Amino acid sequence: MVWVSSPWKIALMVFPAFILFTAFFIYPVVYAGGYSLTDAAGFSGAEFVGLDNYLALAEDSFFRRSVTNTLLILVLSVTFLVPASFGLALLMQQRVRAAGALRALLFGPAIVAPILVGLVWVFILDPRVGLLNHLLEPLGVPPVQWIGSDSLAPYSIAVVFIWASVGFAMTIFYAGLRLLPAEVMEASSLDGASGWQQLRYVTIPMMRETIGIVSLLLITNVFKIFELVYMLTGGGPVHSSETLVSYMYFVTFTDQRYGSGMTIAMVVFVIGALTSLAYLALSRRGRLA
């Protein structure tokens, strides 16, 4: 094929993607990194301030809160979601009438725009008009501030994230389960392994890769939570329910502190890069297919 590969033909094939990607992806990252070293804000020009923004971030209690909230959501979702969606995938493997329809319904939330997910859940969690408090009222439970109080809001965001992700994670697990060699499963069944033993000693070990991939995907997605916060709490009360990205959005676009905002963006970038690299490493090590 050497003759197909004249330099100009290679260039022709490579350049469109290369230029678009460089101009609108790599350059912006570099630009953000540069901005994070300045005090750009509002109308005034930018001046180089070195690492001041990074140091100031360490002192920013709202930022620290957004980190702990993100971590809280991360821990809650991953510890709950991975076993729950795995269990659900196992459940969907059983002889259930119309299992295909159920799987399609469970996957449904994954195609709903996150901004809509947030809106829908406002009408479930809102202390005054939400479904949840309406259901609890006859049981004599006083209105609970699911969103709007600093204590419960991050948990509520985690619940909504779980809702939006469970079908997606289940589907990946389900796909993984179906790829397990039928002979091995059959053999272990015939060996008299109980359902639990089979799960514990055969299924889970064979699914290790998939579990790792699902976990990393979910972690990456937690660091992208933005619309849910934006719709559910607006980050309030007083920034106590912000996540990393929603706080970055506030600082950059509402406060117009571009330098500080880009500093948070760089933090998000580093975290995102690390989790994604771990994901890539893992998925390259053992391809599922």
Partner 1 sequence: MPTPPGRRAPRRRGRRPAIIISAAAYLITFLVVLPILWITLLSFQQSDTILSDPFALDSLTLDNYRNALETLPLVRMYANTIIIAVASVTVGTAVSFMVSFALTRMVFRRRRTQSFLRFYLLSGLAVPVYVLLFPVYRLDLALGIYGTYLAVVIPYIAVSIPFNTLLLTGFLRDFPSELEEAAIMDGAGLFRICWSVVLPAMRPILATIVIFNVVYVFNEFPFVSILINDPDLATVSLAVSRFQGQYTVDYGGMMAAATLVLLPQLAIYAVFQRHVIAGLTAGAVKG
Partner 2 sequence: MPGQNPSWSRRLRRPVGVGLAVTAILSLAACSSDADEGGKTTITLSMQNADVKTADPATWAIVEAFEDANPDVDVEVSGQPVAEHLQSLSIAAQSDTLPDVFWVYKANAEEMLEGDRLMDLSPVLDELGILDRLPDSTVANYTADGKVFGAPYQGLLTGLWVNSKVLADNGLSMPKTFDDLLAVARALDAKGVVTISNGASQSAFSVWQFLVWLDRFGFEDKADGLLDGSEKWDNPDFIRMYEHIAELRDAGAFSSNVSTQTYQQAVDQFLQGKAAFLDSGVWAASAIQESKVAPDVDFWRGPEFSDGVGEQNIVMNVASAPLVVAEKVAEDDAKLDAVKDFLEFYYSDEGQQILVDNGQPPVTDYEPKLDPVKQSVLASAIDEAQADDVTSPESQPDLLFPVDVSNAIYDSIYGVIQDQLSPSEAAALVQKALDNQ
Q: Which of 202, 223, 199 is nearest to 279 (CA)?
A: 223
Give the bridge partners for 44, in sequence order: 41
Restricting to residues 136-155, name those near partner 2 by CB under 8 A.
143, 145, 147-150
Q: Of 147 and 225, which CB lies nearer to partner 2 in the complex structure?
A: 147
The entry of partner 1, partner 2, none near residue 215 (CB within 5 to 8 angstroms by kind) is none
Residues facing residue 167 across a β-bridge: none
Cα separations in angstroms, 91 against 48, 115, 165, 288: 57, 30, 17, 21
Q: Quick one: which of 51, 55, 75, 115 contacts partner 1 (CB under 8 A)?
A: 115
Q: Are 46 and 40 in contact (CB under 8 A)?
A: yes
5 binds partner 1 (CB under 8 A): yes
Query: Among residues 137 and 255, whose Cβ is nearest to partner 2?
Result: 255
Output 49 or 99, the one with its CB closest to partner 1: 99
Contact range with partner 2 by CB under 8 A, out of 2-10, 36-44, 73-81, 263-271: 36-44
What whole-number distance in Å separates Cα of residue 234 and Cα of residue 226?
10
What are φ and ψ of residue 48, in 5° steps?
-70, 130
Minimum distance between the CB of residue 146 and partner 2, rounded to whole angstroms?
9
In the list 55, 187, 238, 273, the residue contacting partner 1 (rule: CB under 8 A) is: 273
**Which of 31-69 are b and which e, b meaning 16 or more Cβ less than 10 Å from the residue's Cβ?**
ebeebbbbbbbeeeeeeebeeebbebbeebebbebbbeb
Considering only 75, 175, 187, 238, the residue that binds partner 1 (CB under 8 A) is 175
* Residue with Cβ nearer partner 1 (5 or 151): 5
Classified as helix, coil or strand, 262 is helix
The reply to whether 238 sits near partner 1 by the rule CB under 8 A is no
Strand locations in the chain (E): none
Distance CA 136, CA 139 (A): 5
* Other beta carbons within 10 Å of 280: 11
Nearer to partner 2, 167 or 261 (CB): 261
* Window 252 to 281, contacts with partner 2 (CB under 8 A): 253-257
Phi, psi of 284 (to 5 degrees): -80, -35
Query: According to CB under 8 A, which one of 37, 214, 222, 229 is a site residue for partner 1?
Result: 214
Interface with partner 1 includes 139 (CB under 8 A)? Answer: no
Stretch that binds partner 2, among 23-31, 96-104, 211-219, 229-237 (CB under 8 A): 229-237
Residue 189 binds which entry of partner 2, partner 1, none, with Cβ cut-offs from 5 to 8 Å by kind?
A: partner 1
Of 282, 249, 254, the closest CA to residue 268 belongs to: 249
Residues that bind partner 2 (CB under 8 A): 41-44, 56, 126-128, 143, 145, 147-150, 233-234, 236-240, 253-257
